[in-house]
Structure 1
Amino acid sequence: MERNSSLWTNLIDEHPVCITWKQEAEGAIYHLASILFVVGFMGGSGFFGLLYVFSLLGLGFLCSAIWAWVDVCAADIYSWNFVLFVICFMQFVHIAYQVRSITFSREFQLLYSSLFQPLGTSLPVFRTIALSSEVVTLEKEHCYAMQGKTSIDKLSLLVSGRIRVTVDGEFLHYIFPFQFLDSPEWDSLRPTEEGIFQVTLTAETDCRYVSWRRKKLYLLFAQHRYISRLFSVLIGSDIADKLYALNDRVYTGKTYHYDIRLPNFYQMSSPKIRKSPLTEHFRNSRQGCDK
């Protein structure tokens, strides 16, 4: 304790106190450096936020080095500020190279700008997602999946074109760009389970979609928890959109509108109304899920 107190005394108490202060202000370069420091530390996160921070901090340290060389004439102050300027410059070049090296094909660029970027997904994370996938072309009137035949072994996201979803030859709904092709099937199975499509997906136009193999995607989820949560949000939102799209298509007789949120109320309020095939299929699918 005595040794620590003596050190504090030597540093603070016995240090000469400033008796007179300089009347004139420092030069403009010094104040410019201070402004750059203040603005630089207001930078955000992510790659572009780091570019912003290191560029302004580097300029601030450069101005401080010039001020120390010209006005103060202090070699130690100049040396430290110049070294910090070099470090910031090297960091800026390194980050700029990383950003420039991340390039995608047109499909992935559209996918990132339309779906992933609004959710705050960074380019390195999206690159990890993109490297685990492949872009596939589906010609007009070709089937992506056939009811009762195609196994569920991948997850796909439509980039361009339009897909028609049918069950027993009856139309259910469309799948438009930036919607998943098989999100309900994906969500209905556990990682260790296998299943078969209960609907048929047919391309109405020439389509292109991004596809992830099921096992490879689960491995990616295990390695990156953020990507797992991201896909969970995207798939959940996509399933909700499909349910409401199906709800808009399902009508019963006498202008009753079948609401997917109130199946029991519908059955009690109109027990004698003949159910359409779409209504019956949807009711059976709900009962299967409840089991």
Structure 2
Amino acid sequence: MTEEEGLHDRGATIVHILPGENISWVEGPFNFTTYLGIGSLGWCDTWRAPQHLMFQLANACFFVSYIMPSTRTGTVLMRAALVLGFLIFSAWAWVIVCAPDMFVWNLCYTCINIFQLVFILYQMRPVKFDPELEEVYHTLFRPFKVSRIQFKKLICNEMAQIISLHAGEAYALQNITRTDRLGLLLSGKLNVLSDNHFLHPILACEFLDSPEFESRANMDDKFKVTIVAATSCRYLYWQRTSLEYLFVKETYLATVMSTLIARDITTKLYAMNNKIVTEKGFHLDIRLPCITSTLSSGDRKSPSVKALKKHTAMLAGVAPNSPDSVTNSREKLVKEDAPTPAVPNGTVVEIQAPKDVNKTGIGSSNEIEFWLETSSKYHSCEVVDN
């Protein structure tokens, strides 16, 4: 072996990473090898041709699914696009790539999205009601975003019944019928009476016994009013126990029903303000400042002022929500004839107002108080429908 060959055998190899092609050369006793820099960093030297058209279609479906809005319709379209995309991927894996593992995984994803799509479509199915119930849904529940599925739970046969009344038949009798129910009038008209005195009517899409339902204290409470059908009527009828059981499961529906009942009670109470009229037929609104200022003064304790004070508190919601203040609010506005001119308990009054009140609606507290104390005509009157 020559000395030069020995040097070559003992020579070291130096590797350079340069941005050029692979080059090897020998310089003196050392071997130099240069490798491609991009390949050394893990990048591809060469690129394959684009995948099959089925692969491209599947990814296009995924792209479409991910840009769908988050609405109910957008969710349906997203699931449909995912089903189509995974189905194409499954076919691509089975026919083109021949990869059983990819085929199985994509087939599982396809089945999952099919089940999700069917469930969403089931929830979106059109739920139809009778024309009367459809009117109730659109008038009362749809403004509160109650779905048709939730409303169907409220009016299903297990929860409610639809009952008919002929003219003259009673829904409830004073001091006889128990307050263990809740009724909603679908069609017709009913009248509310207390000791044969007319209080107010009940029209379609109004609750029949919302005050009694809201303020019921025990199982033995009775109606303090009589509710009689003025025309042929149909109403929706719930048992209290059934509603309470449903409200435990459907909390949003319970909130909506509580709101509707409270609004119905308020409407009934404020409607009775129309029964306060003067001798000449003028309506006396107890919410007027001249009346309110007189009622708010605590110097005078006349029976008439006390009566209007109690009536004002009842209408304005100042009185506590108790059976005495809510359940009896309707009949407190009417009382049987009595020898004394002053009638307590917020009785409907028909009195002649002073000129200042009738014309301008304003007056001093002394004038209003003197007018209330000296007036002696107190009796009920029916509300005249315009």
**TM-score normalised to structure 1 length:** 0.71
Structure 2 partner of 1:11:
none
1:31 maps to 2:77? no
Once the two structures are TM-superposed, the CA of residue 101 in structure 1 deviates from its matched residue by 8.9
Structure 2 CA distance for partners of 1:177 and 1:266, relative to 1, 3 Å: farther
- Picking from 168, 172, 176, the partner of 1:141 is 168
Superposed CA offset, 1:40-78 (max 9, x none): xx233xxxx2x7514432323413543675699554656
Distance 2:149 2:219 in 1: 31
Does residue 130 (structure 1) correspond to residue 166 (structure 2)? The answer is no
1:258 counterpart (286, 290, 295): 286
Deviation at 1:238, TM superposition (A): 1.3
Unmatched runs of 5 consecutive residues or more in structure 1: 1-13
Aligned to 2:82: 60
Q: Which amino acid aligns with 1:186?
A: F
Question: Could you tell me the percent identity over the aligned residues?
Answer: 28
Query: SS of the counterpart of 2:163?
Result: strand
Q: Which amino acid aligns with 1:165?
A: V
Instruction: Please tell me whether the aligned partners of residues 186 and 235 of structure 2 are also in contact (alpha carbons under 8 angstroms).
Output: yes
Equivalent-residue separation in structure 1 for 2:279 and 2:152 (angstroms): 50
Change (3 A) 1:29 1:223: closer
Distance 2:106 2:178 in 1: 63
Partners of 1:148 and 1:199 within 8 A in 2:
yes
Q: Does 1:153 align with 2:180?
A: yes
Distance between the aligned counterparts of 1:242 and 1:22, measured in 2?
A: 79
Q: Which has the higher contact order (CA 8 A, sep 6+)?
A: 1
Residue identity matched to 2:252: Y
Deviations 1:112-165 (A, max 9, x none): 333223212233332322231111111123221233332212001111122222
Partner of 1:89: 114
5+ residue gaps, structure 2, are 1-39, 329-386
Structure 1 283/194 Cα, relative in aligned 2: closer, same or farther at 3 Å? farther
Q: Partners in 2 of 1:263 and 1:154 — Cα distance?
A: 38
> Do the aligned residues in 1 keep the contact of 2:199 with 2:272 (CA within 8 Å)?
yes
Report if aligned partners of 1:163, 1:174 keep a CA contact under 8 Å in 2. Answer: yes
Query: Do the aligned partners of 2:189 and 2:202 also contact (CA within 8 Å) in 1?
Result: yes
The equivalent residue for 1:240 is 266
Specify the SS of the correspondent of 1:136. strand
Question: Could you tell me how far apart the structure 2 residues matched to 1:261 and 1:106 are?
Answer: 45
How far 1:281 sits from its partner (Å)? 9.5
Distance (whole Å) between structure 2 residues aligned to residue 261 and residue 195 of structure 1: 38
How many residue pairs get aligned? The number is 268
Deviation track 1:79-116 (CA, whole Å, cap 9, x = no partner) reads 54443233222333344346559564444333333322
Aligned twin of 2:18: none
**Aligned runs of 1:39-58 on 2, under 5 Å?**
39=68, 42-44=69-71, 49=72, 52-58=74-80
1:289 counterpart (302, 305, 325) = 325
**Cα 1:259–1:69, aligned 2, differ >3 Å: closer, same or farther?**
same
Cα distance, 1:211 vs structure 2: 0.8
State how far apart, in whole Å, the 2-side matches of 1:156 and 1:73 are. Answer: 67
2:223 to 192, 197, 204: 197
Is the contact made by 2:64 and 2:81 (CA closer than 8 Å) also made in structure 1? Answer: no
Provide TM-score, normalisation by structure 2.
Answer: 0.55
- Supply the AA of the counterpart residue of 1:31: A
CA distance in 2, matches of 1:281, 1:175: 24
Q: Does the C-alpha gap of structure 1 residues 250 and 108 become closer, same or farther in structure 2, counting only changes over 3 Å?
A: same
Q: Measure the CA separation in 2 of the matches of 1:266 and 1:84.
A: 75
Letter in 2 for 1:228: A
Equivalents in 2 of 1:33, 1:213: separation in Å? 51
Residue in structure 2 matching 1:121, options 146, 160, 170? 146
Secondary structure of residue in 2 paired with 1:245: helix
Q: Say which of 171, 191, 205 aligns to 1:178.
A: 205
Going from structure 1 to structure 2, the CA distance change for 1:19 and 1:204 (only over 3 Å counts) comes to: farther
Aligned alpha-carbon RMSD (Å):
4.3
